[in-house]
C-alpha cells in the first residue's frame, strides 16, 4: 500500500537531482577551478555570489551618489566654492537640480555649470554664508561694505 500522505511529501527532495544540480552548475559555468565542477563547492560560491549581487544593487546606488558628489565638488572648486555652500546657494535660489544632473552639467555643459556656480555664489555672498570670502557685489552696490555691518 502506498501512502501519498503529507509526511512522505515532506521527505521528498523536490526535482530530480540532475536538474537541481544543473541549475547551480549553469550559474557556476564561468567560475574557475573546482568551483565550476564540484557541486559542493559550486553551490557555496553561487550562493555567495547571489547574496553579493543582491547587496550590490543597493551599494551601486550609494556609490553613484558618492561619485556625483565628488564630481560636483570638483566642478565647483574650480571656481573657489565649496560643495555645501554651492548646494545651499542653489537651494536658496530655488534651483532644485539634483546631484546627478549637476555632475552631468559640470562635465558636458561647463558654461551652464559656471553660470549656476555664479548664481549660487552671489546668493551665498548676499546671505552671508561663512564660506564666501569675497564680499558680494550686490552688497558693495548697496553700500553695505562701508557700513561695517558684519
Do the Cβ atoms of 99 and 105 come closer than 8 Å? no
Query: 55-63 contacts: CB < 8 A, separation 24 or more?
Result: none
Q: Does 35 bind another protein (CB under 8 A)?
A: no
Q: Closer CB to another protein, residue 32 or residue 148? A: 148
Q: How far is the CB of 146 from another protein (least distance, A)?
A: 9
CB crowding 47-58: b at 16 or more within 10 Å, else e: eeeeeeeeeeee
Q: How far is the CB of 16 from another protein (least distance, A)?
A: 19
Nearest in space to 93 (alpha carbons), one of 68, 73, 130, 118: 118
Dist. CA 113–CA 86, nearest whole Å: 11
Q: Does 50 bind another protein (CB under 8 A)?
A: yes
* Contact residue for another protein among 22, 60, 109, 110 (CB under 8 A): 109
Cell numbers for 123:
546668493
Q: Does 130 bind another protein (CB under 8 A)?
A: yes
Q: Closer CB to another protein, residue 3 or residue 97? A: 97
Q: Using DSSP, state whether 26 is helix, strand or coil.
A: helix
Q: Does 39 bind another protein (CB under 8 A)?
A: no
Q: How far is the CB of 2 from another protein (least distance, A)?
A: 30
* Contact residue for another protein among 24, 41, 88, 122 (CB under 8 A): 88
| Total interface residues for another protein by CB under 8 A | 42
Of 13-21, 59-67, 75-83, 131-139, the segment contacting another protein by CB under 8 A is 131-139
Ramachandran quadrant class, 80 (left: phi over 0; alpha: psi -120 to 50; beta: rest): left
Amino acid at each position: 500500500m502506498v501512502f501519498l500522505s503529507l509526511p512522505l511529501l515532506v521527505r521528498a527532495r523536490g526535482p530530480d537531482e540532475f536538474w537541481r544540480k544543473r541549475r547551480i552548475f549553469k550559474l557556476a559555468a564561468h567560475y574557475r577551478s573546482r568551483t565550476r565542477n564540484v557541486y559542493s563547492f559550486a553551490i557555496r560560491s553561487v550562493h555567495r555570489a547571489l547574496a553579493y549581487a543582491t547587496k550590490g544593487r543597493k551599494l551601486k546606488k550609494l556609490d553613484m551618489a558618492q561619485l556625483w558628489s565628488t564630481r560636483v565638488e570638483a566642478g565647483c572648486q574650480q571656481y573657489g566654492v565649496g560643495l555645501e555652500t554651492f548646494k545651499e546657494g542653489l537651494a536658496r535660489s530655488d534651483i532644485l537640480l539634483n546631484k546627478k544632473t549637476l555632475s552631468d552639467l559640470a562635465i558636458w555643459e561647463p558654461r551652464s555649470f559656471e553660470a549656476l556656480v555664479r548664481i549660487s555664489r552671489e546668493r551665498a555672498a548676499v546671505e552671508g554664508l561663512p564660506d564666501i570670502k569675497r564680499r558680494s557685489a550686490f552688497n558693495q552696490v548697496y553700500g553695505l561694505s562701508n557700513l561695517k555691518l558684519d
